[in-house]
Amino acid sequence: MDPFLASAIFALGLAFGSFLNVCIYRLPLGLSVITPRSACPRCKHPIAFYDNIPVLSWLILRGRCRGCKARISPRYLMIEVITALLFVACYGVFGLTLSTLKYCTFAFLLLGLIFTDAETKLLPDKLTLPGLALGLIFSLFVPVNDLASQFLSNVVSLPLSGDISLRIFSLLDSGLGAVVGASFIYGAGAIYLRWRGMEGMGLGDVKLMAMIGAFLGIKLTVFTIFAASVAGSLFGLSTVLIVWLKRTHRFMKRLANPQAARRRGWQSAQMVYRFYQMPFGVFLGGTALLAFFFGNQVLRWYGSMW
Ligand SMILES: [Zn+2]
């Protein structure tokens, strides 16, 4: 890794992270990410360019608006740093290649979607749909090298030059990833709706998974869905468990009858189980991020066990 290039990519990552903050704040509100200039949400004072430098401005202003001293969430700083670290990690893994560009784009989109889902339970089309298109386009230049490329290319031979047919198989892999990812989530959402009588996964999750599938291909898409379901279930169960224990403890102190306290605690846990809506996009996005760094290693390890 060239330290000069790595620092330049880190700085670029900070700048993109700063733009991502604008996207995360404005896209769920349906606002333009280009105009107007960023302003303090409280005093509406436009933010000067020297107060808009990633990380540094936040530190210099100690996380407060220069005008009205309103607190600026450390989330802004965090997203800038995470974006920059992910960009450098992509460069570290893939060097100065088109793969790095592809995975930086993917990381940028995923981070935006993870945070909008966590904060607003929305997965804006303005991120997922261009993301899906980008994933398909990138597959023409960075081989997805999944099932179609590995198996179909031996069975079917296209009347085209070797290079072009490889690109077409790669595009097919990307498209199949998108279709498999989207239909899986759509099907799971429909089953969930019937089972629980409420929407667990919306169309936003379907489009998110189509985008992830287009970037990753079928195998890593299936891995992502599986890992996200495990992580999401563990998170959901521990949330119910924590509420149960905390509420029972509180009712024990408040009520004289321990049996009644236990019953009330159990009722609270059931309420959470019934009505808590998990931002599943956060888990899908998070595991997709892990999948492109470690997924292939996990799949190889899994394959070697058989
Ligand atoms: Zn202000």
Residue 99 CA, ligand 1 centroid: distance in Å: 41
Compute, in angstroms, the gap from residue 18 CA to the centroid of ligand 1. Answer: 18
The pLDDT confidence band at residue 226, using thresholds 50, 70 and 90, is very high
pLDDT at 89: 93
Going from the Cα of 119 to the center of ligand 1, the distance in angstroms, rounded, reads 21
Whether 18 and 84 have beta carbons less than 8 Å apart is answered as no
What's the gap in Å between 64 CA and the centre of ligand 1? 8
Ligand 1 centroid–CA 232 distance in Å is 37
- Which residue type, as a one-letter code, is found at position 99? S
Which of 83, 207, 34 has the alpha carbon at shortest distance from 135?
A: 207
Residue spans of the domains in the chain: they are 144-306
Measured in residues, the chain has a length of 306
| Mutual angle of helices 296-304 and 218-254, in 10-degree steps | 100
Average pLDDT over residues 54-58: 89
Question: Of residues 246 and 196, which shows the higher confidence score?
Answer: 246
Which positions ≥6 away from 102 have C-beta within 8 Å?
138, 141, 142, 215
> What's the confidence (pLDDT) of residue 306?
63
Q: Give residue 175's pLDDT.
A: 96
- Determine the angle formed by the axes of helices 218-254 and 162-196, rounding to 10 degrees: 30
Per-residue pLDDT, averaged over 210-230, amounts to: 94
* Max CA separation in the chain (angstroms): 82
Q: What is the whole-number distance in angstroms between the Cα of residue 114 and the centre of ligand 1?
A: 27
Predicted confidence (pLDDT) at residue 8 exceeds the cutoff of 80: yes
Distance from Cα 214 to the centre of ligand 1, integer Å:
41
pLDDT cut 70: percent of the chain above it:
100
Which residues, including other chains, have CB under 8 Å from residue 145's CB and lie 6 or more apart?
A: 170, 173, 217
What spacing in Å lies between the alpha carbon of 109 and ligand 1's midpoint?
28
pLDDT in tens, 234-285: 998 898 899 899 988 888 888 888 888 888 889 888 888 877 777 889 999 9
Percent of the chain's residues with pLDDT above 90: 49
Ligand 1 centroid–CA 63 distance in Å is 11
47 with 37: CB under 8 angstroms? Answer: yes
Q: Which of 59-63, 71-75, 141-145, 214-218 has the highest mean pLDDT?
A: 214-218
Residue 305 pLDDT > 80? no
Is the pLDDT at 202 greater than 90, yes or no? no
Distance from Cα 59 to the centre of ligand 1, integer Å: 16
Q: How far does residue 143's CA lie from ligand 1's centre (Å)? A: 47
- At residue 264's C-alpha, the angle toward residues 260 and 265, to 5°, is 115
Q: Which two tokens stand for residue 278?
A: 């998990």
pLDDT of residue 192: 82
63-100 residue pLDDT tens: 899 889 989 889 999 999 999 999 999 999 899 999 99
